[in-house]
């Protein structure tokens, strides 16, 4: 992994992804951040958005909920954003949450504590608490208890994968990975020893290069079904992370679908969810197909052993 620097990388990723957006940024960058500009292109009409619900006592232990009109027994997606475990905010990601909600999903986006306030594994414990809160309130938010999904991008995909693979985190938060219908990982670092880069080394200084930090080391074949996506042009989190985790899951008899999209960058993968950029890669339809085909006690075999390069 190289180049962890989320706000700057986000700006560069958006600019590189579209000539149109490069022009728009040049015109408006003095007034708005790239994330704000992207979010401004997303309609929240017919959605109910509730901000800053506490799932714990700390200032960053809050979450936002995006609900489609008349949501009842809808799939629920807990989306965990990335940022190298040292930056990021749920306020940056309405373009993901609102887009998924307009597909008929209830979407929960938690904040969680970051370095230097905390180190590994505290941010995982926060995310587990947010998932446990969501699982306990599914009826109130219009969710289907058979269709609770974890989804994340970059470091957020790492967090989601660790919760799905190591049952200890969700168990300690009062729930179980058996309540999770599926994991959706976008450009996640799952197999990245030795850790390089001073900032990431600091985040994991509690364990150094110990194996307990790596999602691939928790594969047991019993985790929820997985959809693992990456872009071939990702120079921040190399696609080999996705391929390595998928191979380990298959070897253990687990259920996984992995796809590598040609020419798509690290930020480009998540930006492709936004309507303005959906033509760049079919990330949204692939994610939606996975959500619609999986539920607890249902069609979990649908994604077993699928490997594709688009």
- Per-residue model confidence as pLDDT tens digits over 34-77: 788 889 988 888 899 999 999 999 999 999 999 998 878 999 99
Portion of the chain with pLDDT greater than 70, in percent: 85
- Residue 187 confidence (pLDDT): 98
What confidence tier does 24 reach under pLDDT thresholds 50, 70, 90? Answer: very low
Question: Does 217 have pLDDT greater than 60?
Answer: yes
What confidence tier does 23 reach under pLDDT thresholds 50, 70, 90? Answer: very low
Question: Does 195 have pLDDT greater than 90?
Answer: yes
Cβ proximity of 223 and 176 under 8 Å: no
Question: Does 186 have pLDDT greater than 80?
Answer: yes
- Residue 43 confidence (pLDDT): 86
Q: Which of 83, 31, 90, 34 is nearest to 65 (CA)?
A: 90
Strand order in the sheet with 256-261: 47-54, 62-68, 106-110, 74-80, 143-153, 182-186, 226-231, 256-261, 306-309
Number of H helices, E strands in the chain: 12, 9
State mean pLDDT over 168-194.
98
What residues contact residue 181 under an 8 Å CB cut-off, 6+ apart? Answer: 75, 146, 147, 148, 149, 224, 225, 294, 295, 296, 300
The rounded mean pLDDT for the chain is 89
What confidence tier does 183 reach under pLDDT thresholds 50, 70, 90? Answer: very high
Residue reference for tokens 């390089």: 196
Q: Which runs of E-coded beta strand occur in the chain?
A: 47-54, 62-68, 74-80, 106-110, 143-153, 182-186, 226-231, 256-261, 306-309
Query: In this predicted model, which residue has the larger pLDDT, 146 or 8?
Result: 146
State mean pLDDT over 185-195.
98
Cβ proximity of 229 and 286 under 8 Å: yes
For 248, the 3-state DSSP assignment is helix
DSSP letter (8 states) at residue 210: -
Domain of residue 174 covers 6-309
- Per-residue model confidence as pLDDT tens digits over 65-120: 999 988 789 999 999 999 999 999 999 999 999 999 999 999 999 999 999 999 99
- Residue 45 confidence (pLDDT): 87
Is 1 domain-assigned?
Answer: no
Distance, in Å, from the CA atom of 71 to the CA atom of 272, rounded to the nearest integer, reads 25
Is 153 domain-assigned?
Answer: yes
Is 172 domain-assigned?
Answer: yes
The CATH code of the domain that includes 10 is 3.40.50.1820
- Per-residue model confidence as pLDDT tens digits over 231-289: 999 999 999 999 999 999 999 999 999 999 999 999 999 999 999 999 999 999 999 99
Count structural domains, the chain: 1
- Weakest mean pLDDT among 15-24, 34-43, 92-101, 204-213: 15-24
Structure tokens at 70: 């008349």
Distance, in Å, from the CA atom of 67 to the CA atom of 50, rounded to the nearest integer, reads 9
What confidence tier does 4 reach under pLDDT thresholds 50, 70, 90? Answer: very low
DSSP letter (8 states) at residue 225: P
Beta-strand pair 106-110/182-186: unpaired
- Residue 12 confidence (pLDDT): 45
82-112: string of b/e by CB count within 10 Å (b at 16+)? bbbbbbbebebbbbbbbbbbbbebbbbbbbb
Is 216 domain-assigned?
Answer: yes
Q: What angle do CA 201, 239, 213 make, to 5 degrees?
A: 35
Q: How far is CA 178 from CA 135, 145, 146, 268, in A?
A: 11, 11, 10, 32
Sign of CA dihedral 94, 118, 218, 170: negative
- Residue 298 confidence (pLDDT): 67
For 309, the 3-state DSSP assignment is strand
What residues contact residue 155 under an 8 Å CB cut-off, 6+ apart? Answer: 82, 83, 84, 85, 88, 188, 189
- Residue 308 confidence (pLDDT): 62
């Amino acid at each position: 992994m190289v180049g962890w620097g989320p706000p700057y990388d986000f700006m560069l990723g958006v600019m590189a992804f579209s000539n149109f957006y490069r022009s728009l940024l040049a015109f408006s960058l003095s007034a708005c951040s790239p994330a704000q500009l992207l979010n401004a292109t997303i309609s929240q009409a017919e959605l109910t958005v509730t901000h800053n619900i506490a799932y714990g006592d700390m200032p960053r232990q809050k979450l936002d909920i995006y609900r489609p009109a008349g949501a009842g027994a809808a799939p629920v997606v807990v989306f965990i954003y990335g940022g190298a475990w040292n930056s990021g905010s749920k306020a940056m990601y309405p373009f993901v949450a609102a887009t998924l909600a307009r597909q008929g999903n209830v979407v929960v986006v938690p904040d969680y504590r970051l370095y230097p306030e905390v180190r590994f594994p505290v941010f995982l414990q926060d995310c587990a608490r947010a998932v446990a809160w969501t699982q306990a309130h599914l009826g109130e938010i219009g969710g289907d208890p058979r269709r609770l999904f974890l989804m994340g991008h970059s470091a957020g995909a790492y967090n989601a994968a660790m919760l799905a693979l190591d049952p200890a985190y969700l168990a300690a938060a009062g729930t179980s990975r058996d309540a999770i219908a599926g994991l959706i990982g976008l450009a996640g670092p799952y197999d990245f020893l030795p850790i390089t880069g001073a900032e990431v080394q600091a985040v994991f200084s509690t364990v150094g290069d110990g194996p307990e930090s790596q999602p691939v080391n928790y594969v047991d074949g019993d985790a929820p079904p997985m959809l693992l996506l990456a872009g071939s042009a990702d120079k921040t989190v190399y696609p080999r992370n996705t391929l390595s985790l998928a191979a380990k899951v298959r070897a253990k008899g687990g259920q996984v679908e992995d796809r590598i999209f040609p020419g798509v960058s690290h930020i480009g993968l998540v930006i492709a969810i936004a309507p303005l950029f959906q033509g760049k890669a079919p990330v949204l339809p692939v994610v939606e197909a996975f959500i619609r085909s999986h539920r607890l006690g249902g069609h979990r075999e649908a994604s077993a052993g699928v490997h594709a390069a688009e």
